[in-house]
Amino acid sequence: MNTILADENIPLVQDAFSNFGKVRTISGRKLTSADLDDTKILLVRSVTQVDAKLLADSSVSFVGTATIGFDHVDLDYLQQQKIGFANAPGSNATAASEYVISTLLVLAEQKNFKLRDKTVGIIGCGNVGSRVLEKLTTLDIQCIVHDPLIQNPNYVDLNTVLTADIITLHVPLIQNGNYPTYHLVNSNFLANLKDNAILINTSRGKVVDEVALLKTSMTHPDITIVLDVWKNEPKINKLLLQQVFLATPHIAGYSLDGKIRGTEMLYSKICEYFQYEPIWRPNILPAPITKLEFSSTIDDDVAIHTAVMACYDIRRDDATLRQINANFDSLRKNYPLRREFNQLTIQLPSSKTILANRLKGLGFNIA
């Protein structure tokens, strides 16, 4: 019988893979080579480093990561050992983009500015960045994009994107090559930001030089920092946490929909790899809030803010991370139910066509 070892934070993993064999779950952060006894299929998330140290002399023939990124997996080693591999590109991209929208609306409210008066610089326009761009464009917010890996005549260079009022990072972690992103945010990067700039990182913690960021935050308190990812997770820099305006425990993409989408993608790819007939379909309960109704007198910006916060308010996650005894991994493991915007249907009068188009562009259903 096949044995599947899976990160305990992958949802519905027992339900999805029980037909393949015996499914065991484990803390992905604590997983070691000693846990791989008789394991044929290994399913992880980003907290597990998958390399020769972990897999040498094991029986693993397939590795799947229920994440967009795969910088935690040594693909060269897997290829050398003829070990199959799959990730889940785009699975949590919608959730991560919704996190950015919630963040920007909260910042606009708390710092008393209008988003339409700001320019947003998007660094990295792949699965997540492209969705952020679409949503912000829907809201008539001016955006400029930098992504040297994508050929687009409308994209700008790094120095130009840093002229934006708000910078949001959506890059993979790349250590070497022509366009490395390790410590992309360094002292030089930070020195080129505008006064009163806002910096948001939901990509990878090591994209930011936290020493440089901490120094900048102390010498330039006018810069607003939002961090979802941290360099030394789960042991995050507590001094930096105090300087960050909004802080969360690497949960930007943690919608239930996104996580289950990741499970579905791995299931499909493993069925294909091992030539199994796919039979599993996830059974998900309805969202806690499924309908909102606005009258013709509602202000459009108020309606958008209300709808977004009904689905996801970043301030709740910020508050839990700042609790005295907050445990980074425990907050991730016990993350509360969060559904994506498309689980909410909004009833609007026919006269609210502009609002309807904006809400639809954000991902909501309109009735």
| pLDDT tens digits for range 18-53 | 988 999 999 999 999 999 989 999 999 999 999 999
pLDDT at 1 exceeding the cut of 70: no
Residue of 233, 264, 338, 340 with catalytic role:
233
Give the bridge partners for 346, in sequence order.
Answer: 292, 366
User: What CATH code is assigned to 93-247?
Assistant: 3.40.50.720
What pLDDT shows up at residue 69? 87
pLDDT at 337 exceeding the cut of 70: yes
For range 307-331, the mean pLDDT: 96
CATH 3.40.50.720 in the chain, residues? 2-87+256-274, 93-247
CA-to-CA distance for 155 and 233, rounded, in angstroms? 32
Q: Taking CA 88 as the corner, what is the angle to CA 186 and CA 77, rounded to the nearest 5 degrees?
A: 75
Q: Which residues of 157-190 are buried (b: 16+ CB within 10 A; e: fewer)?
A: eeeebbebbbbbbbbbbbeeeeeebebbbeeebb
CATH 3.30.1370.170 in the chain, residues? 291-366
CA-to-CA distance for 302 and 111, rounded, in angstroms? 16
Residue of 146, 170, 204, 332 with catalytic role:
204
CATH homologous superfamily of 2-87+256-274 equals NAD(P)-binding Rossmann-like Domain (3.40.50.720)
CB atoms < 10 A from the CB of 76, how many?
10
What confidence tens digit (pLDDT) does each residue in 179-230 have? Answer: 999 999 999 999 999 999 999 999 999 999 999 999 999 999 999 999 999 9
Residue of 45, 131, 146, 250 with catalytic role:
250
pLDDT at 284 exceeding the cut of 90: no
Query: Catalytic annotation on 250?
Result: yes
CA-to-CA distance for 68 and 79, rounded, in angstroms? 19
- 295: exposed, middle or buried (Cβ count in 10 Å: 0-12, 13-18, 19+): exposed
pLDDT at 285 exceeding the cut of 90: no
pTM for this entry: 0.94
Query: Catalytic annotation on 210?
Result: no
Q: What percent of the chain has pLDDT over 90?
A: 96
Nearest to 278 by CA among 288, 289, 287, 270: 270
Q: Chain-centre distance of CA 6, in angstroms?
A: 20
Pick the CATH number of 291-366 from 3.40.720.10, 3.40.50.1970, 3.30.1370.170, 3.30.530.20: 3.30.1370.170
Q: Which tokens is 202 given?
A: 């939901």
